[in-house]
Amino acid sequence: MKQPNPLTGYKVDKSTLINLEKGKIPPQATDLEEVVLGAMMIDKKGVDEVIDILSPDAFYKEAHKFIFESIFKLFENSEPIDLLTVSSQLKKDQKLDVIGGDFYLISLTQRVSSSAHIEFHARIILQKFIQRSLIKISNEIIEEAYDETKDVFDLLDTAEAKLYEVTQGNVKKSTESAQSLVIQAKKKIEEISNKEGMSGIASGFDKLDKLTSGWQPSDLVIVAARPGMGKTAFTLTMARNIAVNTNTPVAFFSLEMSSVQLITRLISSETGLSSEKLRTGKLEKHEWEQLNVKVKTLEKAPLFIDDTPSLSIFDLRAKARRLASQYGIKMIMIDYLQLMTAGGSQKGGNREQEISMISRNLKALAKELNVPVIALSQLSRAVETRGGSKRPLLSDLRESGAIEQDADIVSFIYRPEYYKIDEWDDEERSPTAGQGEFIVAKHRNGGLENIRLKFLGHLGKFDNLDDFDTPFGEEYHSKMNEAANDNTFTPDSFISPSDAFDAPEDDGVPF
C-alpha cells in the first residue's frame, strides 16, 4: 500500500518509510553548535572558556567549521571577536557566502543572550565528535580485519594507536598552516625563556642539561657502551633524578634485570647501604633508621618499572600508551635495545634488519607520545681490540647503522679506569679514578661534547663531577671504584663491591 510522502506528496511504499526510520545518522548536536558559536561572537568570556576545548573538526556542520576557524584566527592574532570581525575574516577567507552570508551569522547571535553554560555545551559537542571518530575508526578496523593479507599484530597495534589518539583528545591533523606552527613555536620559546633555557626534562647532570636544554619531547636518545661501563647505573641515576627531584613520571623497561634488582640498586644508591645488607636484612639500628627515612623519597617517586623479558616492540608500544594514558609518563627508558624482539609480522629476516625496525618504531613511539625515549645499546667488540684510547665511535654501534640514522642523539659512556688507563688523554693528564665520560657523538639539534662525570661505583650511580654529594671520602671512592673494576679490594667495614648489586654477568662488573 502506498502512503503520501509528507515532504514531496508522492506515494511511497510503507516498507521504505520503515527503513528510513531505522536508518542512522552520525552523532551530532548542531543546535548546540549554533549556541556556542553565537555566544563566542557576543561574549569574549565565552571564547576564553572553549577555545582550547574545541577544534574546527569537532563541528558537524561544515558552515560551523568555517565560522570557528575564523574565530580561532582572530583569537590567535589577538584581534577582537564579534559579529563584524568574524564576518570580515570569513570574507577574507572567501567563506562568507559558503556559510550563508551575514544573515546566518546574525541568526546565530540571536540564538543566545550570554555565554552562560558555554563550556558545558562545548563538552557535549566534543563528545559527539569523539563518537563520530570512534565510528570512523571502528569501520576502518572492521574493513582491515576482513583483509586476509593484514597481519593480526599489526592490526592490533594500528587499532590501539588510533584509539589512543581519541583517548588523548588529539585526533591527528593531516596538515598545519605555517601561521599556526609559528605561533606554537613562539609560545614554546617564551616558555623556555621563563625556564632559564630548560625546554626539556632535566637529567640532573648540569653540563649535559646545558648542552641539550634537557631531554626533548619526541627525541630518540641512544646511550651506548661496552659491558661494564655503567649504562644501567647511568639511566637509573637519571630516572631517580627525574622522578624524585622533579616529580616527573618515568617508565623504565628493563629487559635484563628484574624490577626488584633495579629497585634494590636505587635503594642502595639512595641510602648508602650495601645491597648485601639489604638482602640479608642484617642492619644496625641506625641503618634501619637510615633506610626508613631515605627510602620514603623513592616510595613517592612516579617511577614505573616493567621487567618483561624479551619484550617485543609491539608490546612495548602498547604498554607505553597505557602508561601515558593512566599515569601521564613524560619519559621512557629501555635497558636495552638488543634484547628486544620485533614481534608481529616483522619476525624473520636477519638481526640487523630486526634492529633497524625496532629503532624506527622507537622513534615513531617518541613522536606519537611526544616524550623522549632513551634506549641503551651495546657496542661491538671492536672497541676492545682497538689500541690506545678505547673511546667509542659511531661506527662501533652494534648490529645496525639504522640506530645512528634514527636517533636524534647518540651518546656513549666511557670509563678509561676500566681499561687500566690511569690518566685522561688531555693536557692536564688528570687521573681517571672514579670518573666517567658521557660522550655526545651525534646531536641533531645541538652541539657535541665530552662531559666528565663522577662515577660512584660502590653506590652504582653517576653524579656531577664538581659537586657530587656523598658522605664518604675521596680516597675511599677511589679504592671502591678500583675494586669495582678488578674485584681485588674488599673493605671490612662497609661494602663488598663484588656483592654490591645483582648485576647480569654480561656487564662484566656489577655496575
Q: Identify whether 449 is a catalytic site residue.
A: no
Round to the nearest angstrom and report the end-to-end CA distance of the chain: 86
Amino acid at 497: P
Distance CA 441, CA 336 (A): 19
Distance CA 510, CA 504 (A): 7
Nearest to 153 by CA among 18, 341, 322: 341
Distance CA 222, CA 333 (A): 10
Amino acid at 46: G
Q: Which segments of 115-261 are extended strands (E)?
A: 220-225, 250-254
CA atoms within 13 A on the CB side of 463: 15
Which residues touch 203 (CB under 8 Å, ≥6 apart)?
209, 212, 214, 215, 238, 241, 242
Of 34, 49, 256, 437, the active-site residue reads: 256
CB atoms within 10 A of CB 275: 22
41-44 own/partner pairs: CB under 8 Å, 24+ apart: 41/71, 41/81, 41/82, 41/83, 41/86, 41/105, 41/108, 41/109, 42/82, 42/83, 42/109, 42/112, 42/113, 42/114, 42/115, 43/114, 43/115, 43/118, 44/80, 44/81
Nearest to 266 by CA among 224, 300, 295: 295
Cell, residue 245: 627531584
Torsion of CA 207, 209, 212, 215, to 10 degrees: 150
Backbone φ and ψ for 209, nearest 5 degrees, come out as -65, -35
33: Cα separation from own chain's centroid:
34
Helix (H, G, I), strand (E, B) or coil at 215: strand
Distance CA 257, CA 265 (A): 11
Backbone φ and ψ for 60, nearest 5 degrees, come out as -80, -40
Helix (H, G, I), strand (E, B) or coil at 389: coil
Nearest to 362 by CA among 399, 304, 317, 328: 317
Cell, residue 289: 633508621
Q: Which residues are catalytic?
A: 256
